[in-house]
Amino acid sequence: MYEFDLHELRLLNEICRVLSATLDKEALLRKIWEQLGRLIDVKNFYLTSLHSTSDKMLFDLEVIDGVRMPKRTRPSGNDLSEYIIRTRQPVLIRDNYVGDVEKLGVHRASPSYEWLLLRRSATEL
């Protein structure tokens, strides 16, 4: 257990180092994806933010079945990502994805995603 915790801390430290060392958003997104891939399955993964003035979700990095998708936007909705961004509250879902999401009153997305969501809007980036 101790080695695993130390490994996680090293990876998070590497992400923080890159955050402070680069202004290149594309390189930063790629590095975050690479480092998180050492912690969790990122075969289905995305980094998104909510643009407050257009009320659109901005997908800067999206990977589906291991294939990187082009950048895109979509209208915001009542999904888990928007819920966390808007409420600024973390959500921990362990075993009962369907039940926990229904309790929150949000739309159910594919439970095949590993969820690691940060509470930021596009204006805070």
55 shares a domain with 9: no
Output 58 or 94, whichever has higher pLDDT: 58
pLDDT in tens, 73-116: 999 988 888 888 888 888 877 778 888 888 989 887 665 554 55
CA end-to-end distance (rounded Å), the chain: 34
How confident is the model over 17-34, as pLDDT tens digits?
Answer: 777 777 788 888 888 888
For residue 24, what are the domain limits?
1-39
Phi–psi pair at 69, nearest 5 degrees: -95, 160
Residues 89 and 123 in one domain: yes
Q: Are 70 and 116 members of one domain? A: yes
- % of the chain with per-residue pLDDT over 70: 83
Residue 4: its pLDDT value, please?
55
Which CA distances in Å does 118 have to 21, 50, 52, 67, 124?
Answer: 20, 11, 16, 22, 11
pLDDT confidence of residue 116: 52
Task: Report the range of poorest mean pLDDT among 4-8, 24-28, 121-125.
Answer: 121-125
Residues 56 and 117 in one domain: yes
Of the candidates 24, 74, 82, 69, the residue with the CA atom closest to the CA atom of residue 32: 24
Domains of the chain: total? 2
User: Which two three-digit tokens encode residue 18?
Assistant: 């890159």
Q: What is the pLDDT of residue 81?
A: 84
